[in-house]
Amino acid sequence: MAGRIPRHIVVLFLLLAGALLLAFAARSWLVDPSYYRFGHYRADAVPELAAPTPRYRGSAYCRTCHTDRNADWALGAHGTVQCEVCHGADSAHPENERTLIPTDTIRLCTTCHLAMPARPAAQPQIVLGQHPFPDEETPQCITCHDPHSPGDMQSDEAAPGEGGDMAGASMSAPAVTSKCAKCHGQQGEGVKKNPALAGLDPEVFTERLNEYKTGARKNKIMAKFANSLSAEDIAELAAFYHSLAAKSAQ
């Protein structure tokens, strides 16, 4: 009959109508009712995010128990870094008696201090495998650095024995002193928890290095360093640091 819609077109329209109804039903079931209430987001997400108890308490909470650490942290280079950035968040601490002291400080510290082209030049950065000494195993960062108040390591350019100025030292610095300066200061004054060497009695200095050689004193870095020194090297270092007593000893 003229003007009658072909059957296959009717079937097509029915399929399209069914698809539209199915899509509308799926949207009504899948899309949250609060979506588009205030804009292009789920409005109920805001109160839901605000409802749980906050996990982060801030450094002010830590001061109540850790006043000694706070004194170092507040005045150091990490004074703008909140405690939980490094220690993690645990809202039940200290009641649950769970320790929050990181053990793998290499992994932790390199999160911010691994050398990357995109990082600001003013931010201290290191290249693993070259710090603190090339061709030596990288120790845990807390071996040389106080994590609450880290200081800048002595620069190679100013290291004694490599053109550095020892501020009028009474004798020339042995070349190997450049390695000592990285952890003990340019003039043996000591850096953070690393002890001062300036003014140390030569016999005591020699005895301690030999103890690292034999294993009587335990320190992986010092043992490796001490075993690389000859008796003549140790004698030169002992005499040099003893000569700095008048200017560098505290």
Residue 20 lies in a domain: no
What is the pLDDT of the chain when averaged over all its residues? 82
Which residue, chain included where needed, has tokens 């005499």? 239
pLDDT for 120: 92
Residue 130 lies in a domain: yes
* Range from 39-43, 46-50, 77-81, 219-223 carrying the lowest mean pLDDT: 219-223
173-178: long-range contacts at Cβ-Cβ below 8 A with a sequence spacing of 24 or more? 173/240, 174/233, 174/236, 174/237, 174/240, 176/229, 176/233, 176/236, 176/237, 177/237, 177/240
Residue 115 lies in a domain: yes
Q: Which residue has the higher pLDDT, 91 or 165?
A: 91
Residue 214 lies in a domain: yes
**Mean pLDDT within 190-194:** 76
- For 169-229, the DSSP string reads -SSPPPTTHHHHHHHH-TTS--BTTBPP-TT--HHHHHHHHHHHHHTSS--HHHHHHHHT-
Per-residue confidence at 250, pLDDT binned at 50, 70, 90? Answer: very low
- For 145-159, the DSSP string reads --TTS--PPPPGGG-
Q: 9-47, pLDDT tens digit by residue?
A: 999 999 999 999 999 999 889 889 898 888 888 999 999
Per-residue confidence at 194, pLDDT binned at 50, 70, 90? Answer: confident
pLDDT for 136: 67
Residue 174 lies in a domain: yes
Residue 119 lies in a domain: yes
Residue 93 lies in a domain: no
Q: What is the CATH number of the domain that holds 221?
A: 1.10.760.10
**Mean pLDDT within 203-218:** 89
pTM: 0.53
Give residue 202's domain range. Answer: 105-248
What's the domain count of the chain?
1
Residue 109 lies in a domain: yes
pLDDT for 143: 79
